[in-house]
Amino acid sequence: MRISIENGKVLDPSNKIDQKQNIFIADGKIVSLKKKPDGFSADITLNAKDKIILPGLVDLCARLREPGFEKKGNFNSELHAANSSGITSVSVPPDTVPVVDTPSVVEFIHQRAREINRANVYPLGALTQELKGEQLAEMYLLKEAGCVGISNALVAISNTEVLRRAFEYANSCDLTVFMYAQDEKITNNGVVHEGAISARLGLPAIPETAETIAISRALLLIEQTNARAHFCHLSSARAVDLIRTAKKNGAQITADVSICNLHLTDMDIADYDSNCHLNPPLRSERDRVALIKGLCDETISAVCSDHQPHEDNAKSAPFSMTEPGASTIEHLLPLMLHLVNRNEIKLNRALSLLTSEPAKILGVSKGTIENNKNADLCIYDPNKNLSIDKNNLFSSGKNTPFNGWELQGEVTHTLLNGKVVFSRKYAYDSSKDT
């Protein structure tokens, strides 16, 4: 299959490309930028006039709900939703059923990804067996099976000695530990940020110290073990300060933030909107601003969707009894560019946070546009208006806190290995693929 993408503006911050040029693709790879190769005859020509061509996005955290939670979603529906936002690479946490703590589960994920063939899927292996925080998982075998990192997902490891041994084992395997930092005791079954809103609504709260104490403990162990770690989904200003200081002191750490925490605060929960029940919780406007500052000064290295689709019943109970998480994957790019339009972050930095930077964290060669590399690309129309309607989501989960939002721009095409896996014109037809 030969494809030419013509008349578009190519943006790739990692390679400092910002100009109008054509892209020529053959056998799944980019064979030329600008100049048409001798004898090249395209099977498909995509006219990208007035559109922007970007590297395929890399999402550091998205739950595809397989195996074990198929009633909430599946690889086909959720990767189709990902493609609609230009995402071509996805990292999935290990909290599936069964847990990703054996090579057989890793192979199942890889097999499903090959069958669907909508995105590169990179599984994280479990840090401890069954995510119980007691016995270490066989990290070396998980790495050999294809895991790009190790995580205990949302399950806190209360035993500090177990966590220390986990860092040591991961370091010996040259694996990055992906940490969700939250102290279980201080969290104490809370569901929202501790502040005026939690007090007014009478909801159990999670103070920022639940995050900062867990980060501080982990940083001391990282220093002792010389391990490489990534902190997932920062939510508070104080957490950003801790990561900033640790990086200045030479710690081998990176961090990300969820797209929801860059747009929403605890004020959005005011009417008990269960779609705003997230983990970590939405915090104050001060925290939101600090997170954006952390992105701008490179303290935080990536933005992820933290996609968690749910069936309707999971969000239909009283707020405290609902399941946390939001369906966010298919609006990751428009929501990020919304911050650019509001002058909260520069365009090149915003794009790098969704492409080359998360790819570096995963240790994969993605998120760039280069000759002889796989043609993972998306075409974005900045002149289209996008209205978010939960009833029209490609994802099986309709639990979006952004329902009714009006955004500017939408993805028109997504290519994976030189194959068009999403086209806005035929989007609904492609959702029927198996």
Token pair 């990767």 in the structure block, residue: 79
Token pair 């239909």 in the structure block, residue: 316
Nearest to 104 by CA among 96, 56, 274: 96
Rounded CA separation 178/181 (Å): 10
Token pair 């939703």 in the structure block, residue: 81
Residue-level pLDDT at 270: 85
**CATH 1.20.1050.10 corresponds to the domain 2-53+373-385+409-430:** no
Confidence (pTM):
0.95
Residue-level pLDDT at 428: 42
Rounded CA separation 295/352 (Å): 10
What b/e string do you get for 73-111 counting C-beta neighbours within 10 Å, with b at 16 or more? bbbbbbbbbbbbbbbbbbbbbbbbeebbbbbebbebbee
Token pair 């073990």 in the structure block, residue: 225
Strand partners, 123: 92
Q: What angle do CA 188, 193, 194 make, to 5 degrees?
A: 75
Q: What angle do CA 87, 90, 95 make, to 5 degrees?
A: 145
Residue-level pLDDT at 197: 94
Token pair 């915090």 in the structure block, residue: 283
In the chain, residues under CATH classification 3.20.20.140 are 55-362
Nearest to 34 by CA among 70, 1, 57, 4: 4
Compute the Cα dihedral for 236, 241, 246, 250 and give only its sign. Answer: positive
Question: Order of strands, edge to edge, in the sheet holding 120-126?
Answer: 57-59, 87-92, 120-126, 149-151, 177-179, 229-231, 253-258, 302-304
Q: What angle do CA 130, 135, 141 make, to 5 degrees?
A: 75
Coil, helix or strand at residue 326 = strand
Residues taking part in catalysis: 306
Rounded CA separation 114/125 (Å): 19
In the chain, residues under CATH classification 2.30.40.10 are 2-53+373-385+409-430
Strand partners, 26: 2, 29
Residue-level pLDDT at 432: 39
Residues of the chain predicted below pLDDT 70 = 426-434
What homologous superfamily does CATH list for 55-362? Metal-dependent hydrolases (3.20.20.140)
Rounded CA separation 180/124 (Å): 13
Rounded CA separation 255/204 (Å): 27
